[in-house]
Amino acid sequence: MTTTTPTSAAGPAGATGPTFRAPTASDGPAMWDLARASGLDENSPYAYVMWGEYHAGTSVVAVDDDGDLVGFVMGFRVPAAPETVFVWQVATSEACRGQGIAARLLDSLVERTGAEAVEATVTPGNDPSAALFRGLGKRHGKRVEETPLFAEDLFPGDHEAEVRFRIPVGTP
């Protein structure tokens, strides 16, 4: 099941939190900007425009009251196991971090997709990312499986190994 209805989430003390909605192709440039500003792997602008068009049902953006994009999560259904959503990238703007926006992006993704499991890969040095996915497991009362997936030597240049996080989020 996929829903595209925008939802809002209350922020701290009386403030209105961002609105969460499915992306469109027009969100691509802002997602690309945020990915680059967040130190994520460099991908082409095309990838983000394409994602907004073709993977909107498995992605969510957070937009503030001014209409500015302050976070996104981009995912796809694993072709051989479509009940599993793989999160390719997730980021929030630096000024908005630590306010639960990334956690709410993941919660919104799970709700919109009805996924039974979420998978992502995390580099061992990325504590905020590991905490984000462990937190998703905690909210669902599930143990997060963490297993080595992509070795360092698969990547050209300076790139850490990637550990697969699998978080069961469906009902038992």
Ligand X SMILES: CC(C)(COP(=O)(O)OP(=O)(O)OC[C@H]1O[C@@H](n2cnc3c(N)ncnc32)[C@H](O)[C@@H]1OP(=O)(O)O)[C@@H](O)C(=O)NCCC(=O)NCCS
Site residues, ligand X (CB under 6 A) = 38, 40, 89-92, 97-103, 126-129, 131-132, 135
Closest CA to 39 of 148, 161, 129, 102: 129
User: 134 near 103, Cβ under 8 Å?
Assistant: no
**Nearest CB to ligand X, comparing residues 1 and 146:** 146
Minimum CB–partner distance for residue 90 and ligand X (Å): 5
Minimum CB–partner distance for residue 89 and ligand X (Å): 4
Minimum CB–partner distance for residue 83 and ligand X (Å): 22
**DSSP codes, 1-42:** ------EEEE-STT-EEEEEE---GGGHHHHHHHHHHTTPPP
**Nearest CB to ligand X, comparing residues 25 and 40:** 40
Q: Name the H helices within 55-126.
A: 101-113
CA dihedral 70, 50, 4, 39 (to 10 degrees): -20
**What span, in angstroms and rounded, lies between the C-alpha atoms of 107 and 15?**
20
The set of residues, in sequence order, having a beta carbon less than 8 Å from that of 36 and lying 6+ positions away, is 42
The set of residues, in sequence order, having a beta carbon less than 8 Å from that of 68 and lying 6+ positions away, is 30
**Nearest CB to ligand X, comparing residues 113 and 129:** 129
Minimum CB–partner distance for residue 163 and ligand X (Å): 12
Minimum CB–partner distance for residue 130 and ligand X (Å): 8
**Nearest CB to ligand X, comparing residues 1 and 17:** 17
**Nearest CB to ligand X, comparing residues 60 and 101:** 101
Residue number, nearest CB to ligand X:
135
